[in-house]
Amino acid sequence: MGGRPAFRPPPRALAPLTEEQLKRQQALLQAMEDNEAAAYRDVEALLDDTQKEKARALVSEQREERQRARETFQKKEAPPAP
């Protein structure tokens, strides 16, 4: 099967991001999502109903996976409790 490999958290803890790095990361992720959504809208018009259904399922899976990845990174970046 083609497509992207499943997200796997890094094997070791990441260093916390600075505020600037976090803002850049969020802006980049948002730009990627915007580009993917625009590309999907362009392609969806060319698909038949069966293909649209499959494409929507794939897009939904990717969004869920991306959300899990974000949550994983946010947990790792949270400062330790005092």
Could you read off the pLDDT of 53-69 as tens digits, one per residue? 999 999 999 889 888 87
Q: Does the pLDDT value for residue 1 go beyond 60? A: no
* Domain assignment of residue 35, yes or no: yes
CB 9 within 8 A of CB 72: yes
The number of domains in the chain is 1
Q: Tell me, what's the pLDDT at 6?
A: 75
Give the helix/strand (H/E) hosting 55: helix 49-77
pLDDT of residue 76: 55
Report if residue 63 sits inside a domain.
yes
Residue 9 falls within a domain, yes or no? no
Q: What is the mean pLDDT of residues 4-14?
A: 71
* Share above pLDDT 90 across residues of the chain, in percent, rounded to a whole number: 39
Range of the domain at 55: 19-74
Distance between CA 30 and CA 49 in Å, rounded?
28
Q: Does the structure show a pLDDT above 70 at 13?
A: no
Assigned domain for 10 exists: no
